[in-house]
Amino acid sequence: MSFFQKLKSKFKQDNQEEVSTKYKEGMEKTRKSFSGKINDLIARYRKVDEDFFEELEEVLISADVGVMTVMDFIDELKFEVQRRNIKDTAEVKDVISEKLVDIYYGDDDEEIETLNIQEDGLTVILVVGVNGVGKTTSIGKLAHRLKADGKTVMLAAGDTFRAGAIEQLEVWGERAEVEVVKQNAGSDPAAVIFDAIKAAKSRKVDVLLCDTAGRLQNKVNLMNELSKVKRVIEREIPGAPHEVLLVLDATTGQNALSQAKTFSESTDVTGIVLTKLDGTAKGGIVLAIRHELNIPVKFVGLGEKAEDLQKFDANAFVYGLFADMLDEPSED
């Protein structure tokens, strides 16, 4: 059985048709351009030579897969092609996908993709990221999601800096019908979070979602402020924050790696929310981040509606990327 069939049958077994449809629709643009290009490439080159590899490199880079990751990948692929003595580009297709999936999965089990929600007691989730990636929106969607799962949720308006940020979170709070703890604009974010933890404890809330102001990762002062917020949470509840989610914009290029690295240094990021994946952005950055920093993606934003925040499913994500190839009639 070929690799594609294996992957495909895995989906059928797992009864994940519905999930993969969502991904397929959401990632329509990505999929078309990405796997379309690989197919195109294979059709044009019959021989596996240097030019072929160079162009493959370009296809991957155009998907915003990090340059280093691509180089490693191409090296591995070259080795594999030599080992198996592959001369025909049609055959190399299987190897390409296999290797890409390898990067996705790495050595991790799939458990890390779920949120670390405490059985009893308060779960605190801190949400961080640069400006304009969609932190507040993601929190709104996450609140909606958790509430649907039967959890009681509270939001902390920790973005006291940007104009209209508190109001924006309040609107999401109303939509999801959850309480929002806030102070005036300009107040100390650590103090807001502190208050929110007190409130969440006394009201016996299950999950507290903490919003923070967007900040560019090279602003040392602002990154220190974030560490302080985290320390406050740690002090109030041992073991918290149970999750630190870094929100990344899928249209971001190589800088996303720098973001993941720097935010991890100051707040120990436990997972990534990849937003705006419903445009033509490729999301290839996920590959690079997993490959180079081993931070898992937990959620992806596939649209503007509250329910458009989907749990990241590596299988479905890969399936979305390669759906064109999978649906082709197989020769064997």
Partner 1 sequence: MAFEGLADRLQSTIKRITGKGKVSEQDVKEMTREIRLALLEADVNFKVVKDLIKRIKERAVGQEVMESLTPGQQVIKVVKEELTELMGGEQSKIAVSDRPPTVIMMVGLQGAGKTTTTGKLANLLRKKHNRSPLLVACDIYRPAAIQQLETLGSQLDMPVFSMGTEANPVDIAKKAIEKAKEEHHDYVLIDTAGRLHVDTDLMEELEQIKATVNPDEIFLVVDAMTGQDAVNVAESFNEQLDITGVVLTKLDGDTRGGAALSIKAVTGKSIKFAGMGEKLDQLEAFHPERMASRILGMGDVLTLIEKAQASVDENQAKELEDKMRNATFTFDDFLEQMGQVKKMGPLEDLLGMIPGANKMKGLKNVQFDEKQLVHVEAIIQSMTKKERQDPSVMNASRKKRIAKGSGTSVSQVNRLLKQFDEMKKMMKQMTNMQKGKKGKGFKMPFNPF
Which residues of this protein are in contact with partner 1, per CB under 8 A?
29, 58, 61-64, 67, 130-134, 137, 140, 161-165, 167-168, 170-172, 185, 216-221, 224, 249, 251-258, 261, 276, 278-282, 285, 304
Judged by CB, which is closer to partner 1: 4, or 263? 263
Element (H, E) at 111: none
- Of 168 and 267, which has the nearer Cβ to partner 1? 168
Q: Minimal distance in Å, beta carbon 168 to partner 1? A: 4
- 121 or 253: CB nearest partner 1: 253
Q: How far apart are CA 55 and CA 110, in angstroms?
A: 32
- The Cα 144–Cα 139 span in angstroms is 8
Give the integer Cα–Cα distance in Å for 227 and 268: 9
Rounded CA separation 45/43 (Å): 6
- CB of residue 280 to partner 1, shortest distance in Å: 5
Measure the CA–CA gap between 25 and 212, rounded to whole angstroms: 31
Residue 35 beta carbon to partner 1: minimum distance, rounded to whole angstroms = 16
Q: State which residue, 78 or 87, has the beta carbon closest to partner 1.
A: 78
* 155 beta partners: 180, 209
Of 209, 210, 215, give the one whose Cα is nearest residue 132: 215
As a whole number of angstroms, the longest Cα–Cα distance in the chain is: 68
CB of 281 to partner 1, least distance (A): 5
Nearer to partner 1 (CB atom), residue 159 or residue 313: 159
Nearest distance in Å: CB 37, partner 1: 11
